[in-house]
């Protein structure tokens, strides 16, 4: 999914939403979590793997840590896990990147119905 970082913002925009912030490392994501209420965030998309270490890759461990932190800060925030081949543990729902890119219109419709 090398083009995932380029594709995702276009899908969000096509659905009429905007991305408030992006974290590309686990420490940055955990720092961002404490600001979610301040930013007025109601939904967070969480990638399962932000690290490229062999230890965490394809296991969703980064995403699970981020979701746990989100639920501690505000359990009302809906979390949506995004991963290649495994669910992000703790997410309210999960999507696989390859399924999204295979049927972008279905994912855009999902995004349009977020409330």
* Mean pLDDT in order along the chain per 10 residues (115 residues): 76 91 92 94 90 59 93 96 90 92 91 87
Question: What pLDDT, on a 0 to 100 scale, did the predictor assign at position 52?
Answer: 67
Question: What pLDDT, on a 0 to 100 scale, did the predictor assign at position 1?
Answer: 42
Q: What is d(CA 76, CA 65) in angstroms, rounded to the nearest whole number?
A: 17
Q: Nearest CA to 114 among 17, 36, 14, 47?
A: 17
Question: What pLDDT, on a 0 to 100 scale, did the predictor assign at position 49?
Answer: 85
Q: The sheet that has 93-96: what strands, in order across it?
A: 43-47, 78-83, 93-96
pTM (2 d.p.): 0.86
Q: Nearest CA to 63 among 40, 41, 83, 35?
A: 83
Question: What pLDDT, on a 0 to 100 scale, did the predictor assign at position 90?
Answer: 95
Question: Are residues 45 and 11 in contact, defined by beta-carbon separation less than 8 angstroms?
Answer: no
Domains and their CATH numbers in the chain: 4-112 (3.40.50.2300)
């Amino acid at each position: 999914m090398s083009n995932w970082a380029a594709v995702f913002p276009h899908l969000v925009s096509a659905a009429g939403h905007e991305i408030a912030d992006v974290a590309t490392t686990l420490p940055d994501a955990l720092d961002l979590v404490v600001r979610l209420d301040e930013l007025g965030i109601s939904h967070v998309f969480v990638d399962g793997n932000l690290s490229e270490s062999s230890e965490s890759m394809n296991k969703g461990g980064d995403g699970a840590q981020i979701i746990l932190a989100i639920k501690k800060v505000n359990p009302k925030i809906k979390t949506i896990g995004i991963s290649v081949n495994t669910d992000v543990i703790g997410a309210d729902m999960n999507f696989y990147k390859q399924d999204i890119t295979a049927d972008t219109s279905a994912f855009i419709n999902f995004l349009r119905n977020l409330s």
